[in-house]
Amino acid sequence: MHSATPKHLHPLLGKRLIDWVVDAARELGPDPLVVVTSPDIVDAFDGVELAVQPEPRGTGDAVAAARERLAGFEGDVLVVSGDVPALTGSLLQRLLETHREAGAAATVLSFEPSDPIEYGRVLRDDGLSARSTPRSTPSPPRSSGPRWSGSTPTTRRASST
């Protein structure tokens, strides 16, 4: 997008992109619900716990930024990008159910787009392992749009922007 407004704050059908995502996550009843944001727009959110990511360094760094807000929480982790308004609470619930039923350490939700050039890629080599690449990587796409859920002995629940 060619705009000074961060992508996740652009409106779609009367709501900002991030609001669609937060509303979908709220359907799962997370406590707390943490939104990771830049220092420039901390005033743009109400009704959620905020964690600040000083510089945009990717999803892993966003999750690390949320860690302090989630001190003492034990449970499943759900990390969702703030610019995916088509996600629904029922889809996120099915992702968590699949993750739990499989007893997986991590679960990735991805899709196969009609035009993969516009998206990052999730490359699978054997159905059990995967890696994500940025959209500028010229490798052939398998599927796109990573969203993940994971469990560890020290898990945290977060929604990242």
For the chain, which residues make up each domain, given as ranges?
12-160
Q: Where are the beta strands (DSSP E) in 61-138?
A: 77-79, 106-111, 121-124, 130-133
**The predicted structure's pLDDT at residue 136:** 54
Residue pair 133/139 in contact by the 8 Å Cβ criterion: yes
As given in the structure block, the two tokens for residue 132 are 């994500």
Ranges of residues in the chain with a pLDDT under 70 are 1, 125-161
Radius of gyration of the chain (CA): 16
Query: Does the domain at residues 12-160 carry the CATH identifier 3.90.550.10?
Result: yes
* 72-108 pLDDT, tens digit each: 999 898 999 999 999 999 999 999 999 999 998 888 8
* Beta-bridge partner residues of 36: 51, 160
**Total H helices, total E strands in the chain:** 3, 10
Q: DSSP alpha helices (H): ranges in the chain?
A: 17-26, 59-66, 89-102
pLDDT of residue 161: 37
Residue 159: predicted pLDDT: 34
* The predicted structure's pLDDT at residue 110: 83
Q: What is the pLDDT of residue 79?
A: 93
User: How far apart (Å, rounded) are the C-alpha atoms in residues 86 and 39?
Assistant: 26
Question: Could you tell me the pTM of the whole model?
Answer: 0.77
The answer to whether 121 and 132 are in contact (CB under 8 A) is yes
Whole-number pLDDT of residue 55? 94
Q: In the prediction, which pLDDT does 96 show?
A: 94
Q: Which amino acid is it at 138?
A: P
Give the pLDDT score at 157: 36
